[in-house]
């Protein structure tokens, strides 16, 4: 299997070198860039699997750069920042970031985050290869594509994993902590609102009315569940028959 390629973008040379040396020892192929312009040039030539991206660059906004890179390929993005405000984290996730780590950080934690993100590239097993079809919604785990009424829906890697996981267990209620354990695939330390942010982003893309979501429903005080449109229709018919 070929080495995963990681691009490290940070204007602090000491941080770039530290991360590059550490990840190279973990058998990753690593390149680095000091600003947005160099990052985009390297991104085009290197075609990384993951970008570790500093939010505060001298010539670019990390959030905008994240969106631009993900608009070109299905690259994973791990935001790296000194900002500790939860609002900044929420903004990062809403811009498509797959994860977010705050400076100062330990290299062990960074390695765990990187490993967890790249696991999403794994080959799915035969049992997991079946397309999930719910009325006009189709989820293809092999192509990692979601279509709604034949229109391709652009999801980040983490959004796809979260939707696919929920849809694979229709009707079951999942607590936020359970979703983090199942989908994030590591001991996530932080505000569990990260789940709410990603659910909100998915709803904007697949729900007809986000104020009254039908597919991904909130179970107040508990968490979330995915409801099959067929089950919703059956439930409505049953209510009509007993009315």
The confidence score (pLDDT) of residue 80 equals: 87
If you write DSSP's letter for every residue of the chain in order, what string do you get?
A: -PPPEEEEE-S-HHHHHHHHHHHHHTT-EEEEESSHHHHHHHHHHH--SEEEEESB-SSSBHHHHHHHHHHHS--EEEEEES---HHHHHHHHHTT-SEEEESS--HHHHHHHHHHHHGGGSPPPGGG-SPEEETTEEEETTTTEEEETTEEE---HHHHHHHHHHHTSTT--EEHHHHIIIII-S---S-THHHHHHHHHHHHHH-S-TTS-SSEEEETTTEEEE--HHHHHHHHHHHHHH-
Band the pLDDT of 206: cuts 50, 70, 90: very high
Q: What is the pLDDT of residues 72-93, one digit of tens each?
A: 887 889 998 876 666 666 677 7
Res 14: pLDDT? 94
Range of the domain at 80: 5-121
Strand partners, 80: 54, 101
Q: Does 154 lie in the same domain as 111?
A: no
pLDDT tens for residues 125-180?
555 578 999 988 999 988 888 999 999 998 887 889 899 999 999 999 999 989 98
Residues 144 and 208 in one domain: yes
**198 and 169 assigned to the same domain:** yes
Total of domains in the chain: 2
For residues 75 and 98, give the distance between their C-alpha atoms in angstroms, rounded to a whole number.
10
pLDDT of residue 187: 60
Measured N-to-C along each axis, helices 62-72 and 86-94 cross at an angle, to the nearest 10 degrees, of 20
Domain end, chosen from 90, 121, 152, is at: 121
Q: Based on the domain organization, do 71 and 105 belong to the same domain?
A: yes
Same domain, 161 and 98: no
* pTM, 2 dp: 0.65
Domain final residue, candidates 121, 152, 187: 121
Dihedral (Cα; 66, 68, 74, 79), 10-degree rounding: -10
Q: Are residues 107 and 55 in the same domain?
A: yes
- Assess whether 151 and 47 both reside in one domain: no
- CATH of residue 102's domain is 3.40.50.2300
State the average pLDDT over residues 55-73.
Answer: 88
Note the pLDDT of residue 234.
45
Whether residue 117 is found in the same domain as residue 148: no
For the chain, the residue count is 243
Same domain, 102 and 78: yes
List, for residues 35-60, the tens digit of each pLDDT value.
999 999 999 999 999 999 998 899 99
The residue from 121, 136, 170 where one domain ends is 121
Task: Report the pLDDT value the prediction gives residue 101, as an integer from 0 to 100.
Answer: 86
pLDDT of residue 235: 45
Q: Are residues 159 and 191 in the same domain?
A: yes
130 shares its domain with 216: yes
Q: For the domain that residue 206 is a member of, what is the CATH number?
A: 1.10.10.10
Domain co-membership, 70 together with 31 = yes
Per-residue pLDDT reduced to its tens digit, 195-204: 898 899 999 9
């Amino acid at each position: 299997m070929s080495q995963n390629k990681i691009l490290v973008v940070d204007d602090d040379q000491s941080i770039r070198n530290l991360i590059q040396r550490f990840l190279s020892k973990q058998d990753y192929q690593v390149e680095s860039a000091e600003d947005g312009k160099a990052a985009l040039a390297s991104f085009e030539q290197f075609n990384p699997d993951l970008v570790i991206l500093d939010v505060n660059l001298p010539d670019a906004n990390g959030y905008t750069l994240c969106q631009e890179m993900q608009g070109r390929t299905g690259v994973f993005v791990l935001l790296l920042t000194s900002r500790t405000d939860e609002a900044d984290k929420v903004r990062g996730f809403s811009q498509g970031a797959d994860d977010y780590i705050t400076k100062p950080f330990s290299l062990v934690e960074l390695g765990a985050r990187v490993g967890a993100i790249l696991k999403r590239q794994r080959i799915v097993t035969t049992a997991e290869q079946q397309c999930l079809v719910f009325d006009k919604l189709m989820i293809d785990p092999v192509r990692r594509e979601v279509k709604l009424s034949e229109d391709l829906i652009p999801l980040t890697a983490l959004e796809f994993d979260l939707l696919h996981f929920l849809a694979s267990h229709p009707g079951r209620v999942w607590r936020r902590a359970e979703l983090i354990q199942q989908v994030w695939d590591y001991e996530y330390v932080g505000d569990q609102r990260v789940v709410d942010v990603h659910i909100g982003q998915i709803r904007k893309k697949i729900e007809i009315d986000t104020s009254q979501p039908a597919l991904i429903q909130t179970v107040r005080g508990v968490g979330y569940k995915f409801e099959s449109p067929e089950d919703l229709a059956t439930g409505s018919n049953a209510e009509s028959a007993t009315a």
